[in-house]
């Protein structure tokens, strides 16, 4: 059963948050806070979101934005292929080397670019960034960064099927995720780590993609077990209640309910949608809708996290209610979830199991 009617995609917020450098990181309410500068994390997310929009909605409308975000990534990439993550409003670098997560997100966005219909010169710029940074990602230990990299490699491999290295790299990283699962999981704890923190559904999401391109059944088995484990903990009486960042969820402990982040709901929408596309199992279709409903009041506080006026999303749900700021991560999380719903509903309409 579909719980809500899908609203039209509103990019007004995205336009207001973006200048000629890139997308800014934070906002006070819906007003851009330039004092906080930019983050590579967010510009990689914005590149991915606008490329998805380009492919799914309108082939020309956001191409200019994609070029802005790609230009930002070129600017922050060091000569050795590593990346800065935090940049001041004056375009000064505020760190020496960015996080592993930011590296992985850049690889995901630039890898995805290779499988799109954007102009060739734009794809080539994204490919240059991808090729220079990939070596660093193959030696990192962060499971989320590994997952982001797998997602980028999946699209890169589809774009260049004659090149066998992307496939080998996917196997290299997927095997590391599976080994983490084997070492940590138990009958009552079907997970990769001894704690559940942020962007959790990205890990099974990556293994679903790894299965799609390799056919290795272990990847599918672990992806399903871990996604179902997350859903069992996060879907309570029909509403999505993800782990909060005020304490997370440690093995043997109690899950923190607040603060809940839009990022987590978005990741669950995408992971469940991919699971449905891969397996055809109706439970994943319903899981995606339940997570998407979080943005529209089907959450532990009954509050609207999506703002239909601006097109953005509030930064999260605390024990007191909404955090009413509308920063880049929150808005891009909603946009990615909304775009994924286009894919989900189209796939469902074509499914023989309807």
For residues 152 and 111, the answer to whether their CB atoms sit within 8 Å is yes
| pLDDT tens-digit series, residues 213-223 | 999 999 999 99
Q: 299-304 long-range contacts, Cβ below 8 Å, gap at least 24?
A: 299/239, 299/240, 299/241, 299/260, 300/236, 300/239, 300/241, 300/257, 300/260
Instruction: Please tell me the distance from the alpha carbon of residue 328 to that of residue 104, in angstroms, as a whole number.
Output: 18
Tokens of 224: 């399903």
Q: What residues does 32 pair with on adjacent strands?
A: 27
For residues 33 and 26, the answer to whether their CB atoms sit within 8 Å is yes
Instruction: Report angle CA 31, 37, 42 to the nearest 5 degrees.
Output: 85
Domains of the chain: 12-346 (1.50.10.10)
User: pLDDT tens string for the chain (354 positions)?
Assistant: 456 789 999 999 999 999 999 999 999 999 999 999 999 999 999 999 999 999 998 767 788 999 999 999 999 999 999 999 999 999 999 999 999 999 999 999 999 999 999 999 999 999 999 999 999 999 999 999 999 999 999 999 999 999 999 999 999 999 999 999 999 999 999 999 999 999 999 999 999 999 999 999 999 999 999 999 999 999 999 999 999 999 999 999 999 999 999 999 999 999 999 999 999 999 999 999 999 999 999 999 999 999 999 999 999 999 999 999 999 999 999 999 999 999 999 988 887 655
């Amino acid at each position: 059963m579909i719980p809500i009617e899908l609203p039209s995609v509103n990019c007004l917020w995205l336009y207001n948050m973006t200048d000629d450098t890139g997308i800014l990181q934070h906002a006070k309410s819906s007003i851009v806070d330039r004092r906080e500068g930019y983050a590579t994390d967010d510009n990689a997310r914005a590149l991915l979101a606008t490329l998805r929009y380009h492919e799914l909605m309108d082939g020309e409308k956001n191409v200019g934005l994609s070029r802005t975000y790609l230009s930002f990534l070129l600017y922050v990439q060091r000569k050795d292929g590593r990346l800065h993550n935090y940049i001041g409003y004056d375009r000064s670098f505020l760190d020496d080397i960015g996080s592993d997560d930011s590296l992985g997100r850049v690889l995901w966005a630039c890898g995805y670019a290779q499988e799109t219909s954007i102009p060739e010169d734009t794809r080539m710029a994204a490919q240059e960034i991808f090729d220079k940074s990939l070596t660093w990602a193959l030696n990192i230990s962060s499971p989320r960064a590994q997952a982001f990299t797998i997602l980028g490699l999946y699209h890169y491999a589809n774009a260049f099927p004659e090149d066998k290295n992307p496939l080998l790299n996917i196997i290299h990283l997927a095997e590391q995720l599976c080994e983490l699962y084997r070492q940590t999981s138990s009958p009552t704890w079907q997970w990769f780590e001894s704690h559940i923190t942020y962007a959790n559904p990205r890990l099974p999401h990556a293994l679903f993609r790894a299965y799609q391109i390799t056919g290795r059944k272990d990847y599918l088995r672990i992806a399903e077990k871990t996604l179902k484990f997350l859903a069992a903990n996060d879907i309570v009486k029909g509403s999505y209640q993800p782990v909060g960042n005020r304490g997370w969820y440690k093995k043997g402990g109690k899950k923190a309910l607040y603060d809940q982040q839009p990022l987590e709901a978005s990741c669950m929408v995408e992971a469940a949608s991919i699971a449905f596309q891969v397996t055809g199992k109706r439970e994943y279709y319903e899981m995606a809708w339940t997570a998407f409903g979080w943005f529209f009041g089907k959450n532990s506080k009954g509050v609207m996290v999506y703002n239909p006026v601006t097109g953005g999303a509030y930064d999260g749900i605390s024990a007191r209610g909404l955090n009413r700021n509308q920063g880049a991560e929150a808005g891009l999380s909603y946009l990615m979830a909304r775009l994924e719903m286009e894919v989900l509903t189209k796939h469902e309409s074509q499914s023989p199991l309807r």
